[in-house]
């Protein structure tokens, strides 16, 4: 039975609102005040017990400070709460309406008494609040230890130092300066080479009017450093620790997470693996050692539980890709729920090609990246490529425009990268030859040298045939990979189409002779058009001279040493990446209402939900909850649209009433394969790449890199000071 609000001119009832409703108090004095403020004469005749049993007031009639929300499901009033917010005039605009809750008309004497009582109550509350505040202040003062002048000076100095460190990291200032390496250095350059940018910025603060720093160093020796190298290193470590802790705290609050790594990053102290694309781990040692180091860093170092890891995605090409597969397999063996997936920031075909342990394939990927970067260096170079495209695409304006537009992007990251590379082969070679010839003397020596090296690589038949075979072999996974990075509905249908993809790959493998013949003919035709001779790789011929004297045919050679291993690798890798648990998780995207609607609400999440059953708050009620979830969206109002992504579904107000669905969607949101709204992984990838591009290897610093990549994270200087004092208190006091 619904509860109705007893206040005059209030028509709210519990079935129409999420508002809390409160009983009249049993205490006679408080109950009298409630009735008096309601201004209903008919309630004055009732006892407190009758009012408590039969009458309610909704939360709209109480000041927010009077209401306590003890939990998401329970709202209570303070012991002294009195209703004060009422509508006592709206009925006057409609004098002919009938009122069951008639408002009492007060006499002047009653009005005066009410005002006096309210004034007395306000004064008492104000005095009580002042007493409480004074008591709290005294308690806080007693708790805070008194600092000596030296301790205060140290804290102020650390605060200024951390402010400078954060500035250096966010603006990507190097610690050392790139001064000229000759005898013509100025005195200022010599000073910066010996003191570094940190001390220079401290001096700048002093010159800008920082009186504290000026007083601190007035008595210091002329050649004395403001901050020693050891202390600077400690400051950097604390800065990184505080920024990292701010991010990891968000991960712990979410409970579930996935591991994402990138390509190795070169620092002066060696190669490091980017973790979450934000932090760095030494990559020194064998795969087993690195895997154990990674697990230890995540658990003991950062306080995460690997039992809550639900996915892992590792980028890497060539030898790194092979090592990362071993590391991922070891983690998955120990933690089966940490499924291996591709990342949403890398096209599936590019991911597959990067991981192939074939020298020819890795050469193709490397040359394509160098070629793309070559034209990104200058708009003039891109214009030269556009001219070559126009020459070779005469009469086909549509193809010309497509090639020009795509070549201006980072086309090596596209799903159709190999199709595009084949179409660009002739224009690329023509353009490189033109730049190398340099008849108009437009290009400097470095550009012509780079153009010659790229042209030599492009004009190799092994490069041509490898590119063509990659284009054709990966054509069966292109649409599948594109859907994986599409909308949620596309990802759901992609998961259900994997069987067809594997069937196509098996069909090619079973009829490899036929398919390879067509692919090899295409490569020969392209090579002929570019005037490139068809031949077996020189290195292979040299190795075989001592063993065989029989001539080797190019077609059979590339079938055995290229097409066959490429097809075997693609088929096995697709099976490994899209394991049973991974597919079950992706098929649970039918929990998103838009996907349910597309399937006409005829979905069966129960068959796939077992994968995360142990992670749900109420697994026993999951079938009933899923049924209610479908019914809710199936019978929604016409004006209600279906949320089409995980993020939008989680933002819906009603999802909190479905705790299992809510938990399920939050777990799915952590999978690296899914491209979510406001994807932080993609942002981190761009920032990391920008840092590596802008910073020379000898100037890179892991601590500063973390500050630069995560510059959006708020920094609390006081927290950094406390962390420093807690960690290096003995060293600080001795300094």
Divide the 735 residues of the chain into consecutive groups of 10 and give the mean pLDDT of each group: 81 74 88 86 86 87 80 72 82 57 64 63 54 56 65 86 89 65 44 63 83 74 64 89 89 89 90 89 91 93 92 88 91 93 90 92 93 90 91 85 87 90 93 90 91 93 95 95 91 92 95 95 94 83 56 85 95 93 90 89 77 89 90 86 90 87 91 74 81 88 90 86 83 48
Q: What is the pTM of this model?
A: 0.72
Write down the pLDDT at residue 183. Answer: 43
Task: Let me know: does 409 contact 452? Beta carbons within 8 Å.
Answer: no
Q: Could you tell me whether strands 339-340 and 309-314 are parallel, antiparallel, or unpaired per DSSP bridges?
A: parallel
At a CB cut-off of 8 Å and minimum separation 6, what does 507 contact?
Answer: none
pLDDT of residue 602: 81
**Could you give the CA distance from residue 186 to residue 180 in angstroms, rounded to a whole number?**
9
What are the backbone angles phi and psi of residue 115, rounded to the nearest 5°? -65, -40
Q: Which two tokens stand for residue 84?
A: 């004060």
Burial readout 602-625 (b: 16 or more C-beta within 10 A, e: otherwise): ebebeebbebbeebbeebeebeeb
Residue labelled with tokens 């920032």? 687
The three-class DSSP label of residue 91 is helix
Pair 87, 40: CB distance under 8 Å: no
Q: Which helix (H) or strand (E) holds 449?
A: helix 445-458
Distances (CA, A) of 253 to 128, 256, 303, 340, 674: 37, 9, 12, 23, 20
DSSP-derived secondary structure letter, 267: E
Q: Is 98 helix (H, G, I), strand (E, B) or coil?
A: coil
State the Cα–Cα distance between residues 706 and 267, nearest whole angstrom.
Answer: 13
Structure tokens at 531: 């005037």
Spatial CA neighbour of 341 closest among 679, 571, 674, 567: 674
């Amino acid at each position: 039975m619904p509860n109705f609000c007893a206040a005059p001119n209030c028509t709210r009832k519990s079935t129409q609102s999420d508002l809390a409703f409160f009983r009249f108090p049993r205490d006679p004095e408080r109950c009298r005040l409630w009735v008096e403020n309601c201004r209903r004469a008919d309630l004055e005749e009732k006892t407190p017990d009758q009012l408590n049993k039969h009458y309610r007031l909704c939360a709209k009639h109480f000041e927010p400070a009077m209401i306590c929300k003890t939990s998401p499901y329970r709202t209570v009033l303070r012991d002294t709460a009195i209703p004060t917010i009422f509508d006592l005039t709206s009925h006057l605009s409609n004098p002919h309406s009938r009122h069951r809750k008639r408002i009492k008309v007060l006499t002047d004497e009653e009005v005066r008494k009410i005002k006096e009582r309210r004034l007395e109550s306000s004064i008492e509350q104000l005095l009580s609040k002042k007493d409480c505040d004074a008591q709290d202040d005294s308690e806080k003062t007693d708790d805070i230890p008194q600092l000596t002048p030296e301790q205060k000076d140290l804290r102020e100095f650390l605060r200024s130092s951390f402010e400078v460190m954060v500035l250096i990291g966010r603006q990507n200032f190097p610690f050392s300066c790139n001064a000229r390496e000759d005898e013509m250095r100025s005195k200022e350059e010599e000073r910066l080479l010996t003191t570094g940018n940190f001390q220079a910025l401290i001096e700048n603060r002093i010159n800008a009017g920082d009186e504290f720093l000026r007083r601190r160093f007035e008595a210091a020796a002329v050649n004395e450093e403001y901050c020693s190298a050891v202390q600077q290193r400690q400051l950097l470590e604390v800065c990184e620790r505080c920024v990292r802790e701010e991010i990891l705290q968000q991960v712990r609050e979410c409970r579930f997470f996935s591991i994402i790594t990138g390509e190795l990053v070169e620092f002066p102290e060696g190669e490091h693996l980017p973790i979450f694309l934000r932090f760095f781990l030494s990559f020194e040692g064998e795969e087993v050692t690195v895997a154990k180091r990674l697990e230890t860093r995540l658990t003991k170092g950062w306080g995460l539980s690997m039992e809550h890891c639900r996915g892992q995605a590792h980028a890497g090409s060539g030898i790194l890709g092979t090592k990362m597969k071993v590391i991922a397999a070891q983690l998955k063996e120990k933690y089966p729920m940490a499924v291996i997936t591709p990342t949403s920031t890398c096209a599936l075909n590019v991911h597959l090609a990067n991981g192939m342990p074939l020298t020819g394939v890795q050469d193709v990927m490397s040359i394509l990246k160098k070629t793309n970067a070559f034209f990104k260096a200058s708009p003039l170079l891109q214009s030269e490529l556009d001219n070559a495209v126009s020459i070779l695409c005469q009469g086909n304006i549509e193809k010309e425009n497509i090639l020009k537009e795509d070549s201006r992007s980072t086309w090596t990251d596209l799903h159709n990268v190999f199709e595009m590379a084949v179409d660009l082969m002739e224009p690329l070679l023509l353009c490189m030859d033109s730049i190398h010839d340099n008849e108009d003397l437009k290009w400097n020596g470095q550009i012509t040298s780079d153009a010659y090296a790229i042209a030599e690589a492009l004009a190799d038949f092994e490069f041509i045939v490898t590119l063509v075979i990659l284009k054709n072999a990966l054509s069966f996974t292109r649409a599948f990979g594109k859907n994986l990075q599409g909308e949620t509905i596309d990802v759901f249908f992609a998961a259900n189409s994997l069987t067809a993809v594997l069937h196509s790959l098996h069909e090619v493998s079973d009829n490899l002779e036929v398919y390879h013949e067509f692919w090899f003919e295409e490569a020969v035709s392209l090579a002929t058009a570019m005037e490139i001779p068809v031949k077996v790789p020189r290195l292979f011929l040299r190795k075989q001279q001592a063993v065989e004297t029989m001539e080797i045919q190019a077609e059979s050679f590339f079938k055995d040493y290229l097409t066959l291993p490429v097809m075997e690798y693609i088929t096995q890798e697709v099976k490994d990446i899209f394991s049973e648990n991974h597919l079950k998780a992706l098929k649970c995207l039918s929990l998103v209402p838009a996907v349910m609607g597309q399937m006409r609400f005829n979905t069966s999440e129960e068959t796939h939900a077992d994968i995360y059953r142990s992670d749900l708050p109420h697994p026993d009620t999951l079938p009933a909850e899923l049924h209610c979830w479908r019914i809710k969206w199936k019978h929604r109002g016409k004006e209600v649209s279906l949320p089409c992504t995980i993020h939008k579904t989680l933002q819906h107000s009603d999802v909190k009433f479905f705790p299992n669905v809510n938990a399920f969607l939050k777990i799915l949101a952590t999978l690296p394969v899914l491209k979510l709204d406001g994807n932080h992984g993609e942002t981190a990838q761009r920032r990391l790449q920008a840092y590596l591009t802008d910073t020379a290897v000898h100037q890179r610093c892991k601590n500063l890199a973390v500050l630069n990549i995560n510059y959006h994270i708020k920094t609390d200087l006081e927290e950094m000071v406390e962390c420093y004092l807690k960690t290096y208190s003995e060293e600080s006091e001795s300094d």
